[in-house]
Structure 1
Amino acid sequence: MRTPITDLLGIEHPVVQGGMMWVGRAELAAAVSEAGGLGIITALTQPTPADLVREVERARALTSKPLGVNLTILPSIDPPPYAEYVRAIIDSGVEVIETAGANPEPFMGLLGGAGLTVLHKCTSVRHALKAQAVGVDAVSIDGFECAGHPGEGDVPGLVLVPATADALDIPFVASGGFADGRGLAAALVLGAHGVNMGTRFLCTQESPVSDAVKARIVEQTERDTVLIFRPLRNTARVAANSVGREVVRILDEGGEFADVRDLVAGARGRRLFDEGDLEAGIWSVGMAQGLVHDVPSAGEVVRRVVAEAEAVLRDALGSVSEGPRRASA
């Protein structure tokens, strides 16, 4: 399935794995890439830039196909050494960097000079246009359905994807709410050149999270998420557990970030993923969990999504060309 995004990234199928915190590690990324998609290692999951280089080396031992690294740049009281992580990404030899959060412009000269393809994650058309203007090679556009931060516009993919297609000149992938071949087919028809899937790959055999997390995703529906940080204008979609609901209650009643800081600590979320205590903290998951019903290998997900998308598009074209059937007299 060839599109402008497969040509740009040097991959076989227009399927990109989301760069998920604590999840985007060598085994998962390599499995997605080996199956013909683009696997992504999450930079800040690694404690240091040197650890990131070693993680890429582990992935390289599992696949020779293109790999990406996600670097999310956000305001922080004690920010990571972002410039050092950028240098580590360059030194690691990966082909693609997925940037997210802040404007990647300060790093564009360095990344372009190193020959990396820059894929920037956005949540609105205006931000996608800004990314295009500063020289990124492609965009990943996140609809309101996504896990993590959907932005503050609350625009779902059915509108956001074609609006982005109308506005951009560079390739882009659709993200948020995609978990199967029907979604990929829909994204392509709406004007995207592929899809980015996080929640679907979170629930695979190679995903380095507890089986209890995967089982909960299979059990849950599209309604089992909550939006935290809404009053702070920093909305995030997480699983609807007791901690997420408590964060919503505190902030809705006038609380401030300091009042929920301990509840949303990253260390608690990591422990949840590692140990399977589903009430230990908050954890990101998208509405697409309502479409996830099993725990296959990551490679099977890629193959299944592409095969289903091809079948859906073929059947839809056949239905249209045949036209409506008359009822018999």
Structure 2
Amino acid sequence: MPIVTPLTKLLNIRMPIVQGGMQWVGVPKLVAAVSNAGGLGVLTALTQPSPAALRTAIQETRKMTTKPFGVNITLLPSIKPPDYAGYARAAVEEGVRIFETAGHSPGELIKYFKANGCIVIHKCTTIRHAKSAAKHGVDVLSIDGFECAGHPGEEDIGGLVLLARAAKELQIPYIASGGIADARGYAAALALGAAGINMGTRFMCTVESPIHQNIKEKIVASSEQDTVHIFRTMHNTARVFKNKISMEVVAIERRPGGAKFEDIRELVSGQRGRLVYENGDPDYGIWSAGISVGLINDIPMCEDLLRTMEKGVDEVINDLSSLVVKSKL
């Protein structure tokens, strides 16, 4: 039987599984595959070089799926900020009505989306930030635990505690993000009160993912010990794959007196990271990966992945129900 939650009802999707927005990864082919499989695919706006290019990506996605899909816009510190408003306007004008937002001070974006009748999922790494986002009118919160790829925040709170806190303190639906790659994690998130799950690294390692086969195979061969945090000393922590470049960055940050961003700028260039995905050399640049790499041992099609998770979560829930001892009275 399908899992029905406030998320499936709100988004009109069959499974409460969201493909998180990922730079260079959330492109039309993957997004359509996830949505066609019953989840929610999410285009990453900033993967596209301009708002006009995002329009084209949305149109391409619509050619491949009639199912709901969303667009991610993440606001991060930048010397030259992207045209966030332009990306938002382009997506809304193309008819997108589901958005995933993340990062610093998204209030104006959220206000714009809500004024245009959109559903907003906002990613947070703390309960206080989640409460603030709820006050801005978001519909769903995505709660990112310390296990996640990308930016886990600075407070290092794991998902087990963070999600339990969310169940006690949040008044709107939330989904679990970070460290989830199989049916056990899916079931655990539901048990902790989540209305669904967000997966990033797991979707990187699928047939429809645009990244190089070598990188997918590297993920399969890796363990939960193969990620590392960079930018810790700069209070902009990011979890990335542990390779020659990321360990060099960590070494520079640990030098006496610390480091400035200028000291590592070339090493952490986004273009180098993009080439990792294109050329397949896992040591060429920085690339995001969550500790869920330790749970990934195959490269399935999205449809097969979601069907396996759907079947698996049902089995886990049934196994748990068998533990209940019924009174003889």
TM range (shorter): over 0.9
Aligned-pair distance for 1:51?
0.7
Q: Between 19-28 and 88-97, report the one with greater CA deviation.
A: 88-97
Partner deviation per Cα, 1:108-165 (whole Å, 9 max, x = no partner): 3321122110000101111100000111011101000000000001000010111111
SS in structure 2 of the partner of residue 93 of structure 1: coil
Alignment root-mean-square deviation, CA: 1.0
The match for 1:327 is: none
Counterpart-to-counterpart distance in 1, 2:53 and 2:326: 57
- Aligned counterpart for 1:132 among listed residues 114, 121, 134: 134
Runs of 4+ in 1 over 3 A off after TM superposition: none
Aligned-pair distance for 1:322?
6.6
- Aligned counterpart for 1:319 among listed residues 300, 303, 323: 323
The match for 2:275 is: 271
Q: Between 204-213 and 299-308, report the one with greater CA deviation.
A: 299-308
Counterpart-to-counterpart distance in 2, 1:258 and 1:197: 32
- Aligned counterpart for 1:43 among listed residues 45, 58, 68: 45
SS in structure 1 of the partner of residue 73 of structure 2: strand
Counterpart-to-counterpart distance in 1, 2:198 and 2:325: 30
Partner amino acid, structure 1, of 2:234: L
Percentage of pairs with the same residue: 52
Aligned-pair distance for 1:176?
0.2
Counterpart-to-counterpart distance in 1, 2:75 and 2:178: 20
Partner deviation per Cα, 1:286-320 (whole Å, 9 max, x = no partner): 00010000000112111111211111011111122
- Aligned counterpart for 2:155 among listed residues 149, 153, 156: 153
The match for 2:264 is: 260
Partner amino acid, structure 1, of 2:104: A
Partner deviation per Cα, 1:244-279 (whole Å, 9 max, x = no partner): 000000011112111000000000000010000111
Counterpart-to-counterpart distance in 2, 1:108 and 1:237: 26
Partner amino acid, structure 1, of 2:224: E
Counterpart-to-counterpart distance in 2, 1:306 and 1:149: 28
SS in structure 2 of the partner of residue 153 of structure 1: coil
Partner amino acid, structure 1, of 2:313: A
The match for 2:146 is: 144
The match for 2:300 is: 296
Question: Equivalent residues in 2 for 1:75-154 (5 A)?
Answer: 75-154=77-156
The match for 1:243 is: 245
Matched, 1:7 2:4: no
Partner deviation per Cα, 1:197-235 (whole Å, 9 max, x = no partner): 000000000000000100000000000001001111111
Q: How many residues get paired?
A: 323
Alpha-carbon contact 2:272-2:284 (below 8 Å) kept: yes
SS in structure 2 of the partner of residue 174 of structure 1: strand
The match for 1:219 is: 221
Counterpart-to-counterpart distance in 1, 2:19 and 2:101: 14
The match for 1:287 is: 291
Aligned-pair distance for 1:107?
2.2
User: What TM-score comes out, normalization by structure 1 length?
Assistant: 0.96
Counterpart-to-counterpart distance in 2, 1:195 and 1:146: 12
Partner deviation per Cα, 1:52-96 (whole Å, 9 max, x = no partner): 111011111111111000000112101111110110110121231
Alpha-carbon contact 1:5-1:193 (below 8 Å) kept: yes
Counterpart-to-counterpart distance in 2, 1:152 and 1:318: 40
Counterpart-to-counterpart distance in 2, 1:320 and 1:216: 41
The match for 2:27 is: 25
SS in structure 2 of the partner of residue 77 of structure 1: coil
Matched, 1:306 2:299: no
SS in structure 1 of the partner of residue 322 of structure 2: helix
Alpha-carbon contact 1:162-1:192 (below 8 Å) kept: no
User: What TM-score comes out, normalization by structure 2 length?
Assistant: 0.96
Consecutive unaligned residues of structure 2, counting only runs of 5 or more, are none
The match for 1:188 is: 190
Alpha-carbon contact 2:124-2:143 (below 8 Å) kept: yes
Counterpart-to-counterpart distance in 2, 1:229 and 1:108: 28
Counterpart-to-counterpart distance in 1, 2:110 and 2:23: 23
SS in structure 2 of the partner of residue 321 of structure 1: coil
Alpha-carbon contact 2:179-2:290 (below 8 Å) kept: yes
Consecutive unaligned residues of structure 1, counting only runs of 5 or more, are 324-329
Partner amino acid, structure 1, of 2:323: S
Partner amino acid, structure 1, of 2:97: E
SS in structure 1 of the partner of residue 181 of structure 2: coil
Alpha-carbon contact 2:111-2:136 (below 8 Å) kept: no
Counterpart-to-counterpart distance in 2, 1:7 and 1:237: 32
